[in-house]
Amino acid sequence: MSNQRDVSNWSDISKSKPEADGSFKRRPSSFRDTIQKGGKFEPEKGRYHLYVSYACPWATRTLIVRKLKGLEDFIDVTVVSPRMGEHGWPFANVDAFPGAGVDPLFNAQHIKDLYLRAKSDYEGRFTVPVLWDKQTSTIVNNESSEIIRTFNTAFNDQLPEDKASLDLYPESLRKEIDEINEWVYDTVNNGVYKSGFAVSQNAYEAAVKPLFESLDRLEKILTGKDYLVGDRLTEADVRLFVTIIRFDPVYVGHFKCNIRTIRDGYPAIHLWLRKLYWNNSAFKETNHFDHIKTHYYWSHPSINPHRIVPVGPVPDILPL
């Protein structure tokens, strides 16, 4: 699907403008519906399609929860190429990167085509994940934090007991999960981006210092523990994991988050990371380092103009 309206200010990351003080501000997601019984979007098997990038931490959250909850047969997935250019995220018919796919619904060329199909006058970033409703041909939601909560509960009455009973946002722990999510999002998940996309020294230092203060805080929380909240896996672990798995391979160098590495500076976080990765297939099988490293080092020419992808670290993640 093509659209004649010039949307390059939204699709081309090189045209993004920082704030007046040189800092990076993330814009809120635009599509915020949910899947629920009696609502506009009913929990029906096969009705929805998930568009993701393996490179994107926000999108990978949804892949992890989809697998944890056993929703692979309920919600199909298409993966875009990690090489995000002037038109945004491309499908494999535009850039046949290994592991990328062709859009099975509309044969779209880029993720932006889906946004413009859903809303022709859409103005905003063309981000992943995208949760698409095949029945009404529109976007249900493009906010990962809400999609993972939808996946956590929406299909429970159609799932086997072991999957239905897995609750990543249990009532008894919600207050603590919400509290951790709030500062982890601001200073860690988004903190690496605020550091990397800063265009002034002051803006960079105003982001990178709180980032490492929060990593120090997380190190204390995780010392002697396998999970962030309580003694069970929750969405707080999923949300943090996708940033930490990218930290040494990408954020240390590309985003200048180099006060310490995870593997050499944070033994408790490092152990938590490796236990999730090596012991739980939902974390390991949704993680693709080739997509991750290629995306960041290729897609941000203002930071890495020659698009050289570093060889290290070797290995990408250490064994347990």
In this structure, the strands spanning 138-141 and 75-79 are: unpaired
Q: Which of 263, 277, 279, 273 is nearest to 240 (CA)?
A: 273
**Which DSSP letter does residue 89 get?**
S
For residue 124, the Cα-to-chain-centroid distance in whole angstroms is 18
The angle formed by the CA atoms of residues 243, 244 and 246, to the nearest 5 degrees, is 70
Element (H, E) at 48: strand 48-52
Is residue 56 flagged as an active site residue? Answer: yes
Helix/strand/coil for 220: helix
- Count CA within 13 A, CB hemisphere, residue 276: 29
Looking at residue 224, the DSSP 8-state letter turns out to be T
Joined together, the tokens standing for residue 252 give: 């240390």
Is 239 within 8 Å of 189 (Cβ atoms)? yes
Alpha helices by DSSP H, the chain: 8-11, 57-68, 111-118, 144-153, 161-164, 174-184, 191-196, 201-222, 235-246, 262-265, 267-279, 281-284, 289-299
Helix crossing, 235-246 with 174-184: angle to 10°? 20
Q: Which of 50, 56, 80, 222 is catalytic?
A: 56
Report CA torsion sign: 109, 113, 117, 120. Answer: negative
Give 292's contacts (C-beta < 8 A, 6+ positions apart).
Answer: 54, 55, 82, 245, 246, 249, 250
- The answer to whether the bond into 249 is cis (omega within 30° of 0) is no
Q: Supply the residues annotated as catalytic.
A: 56
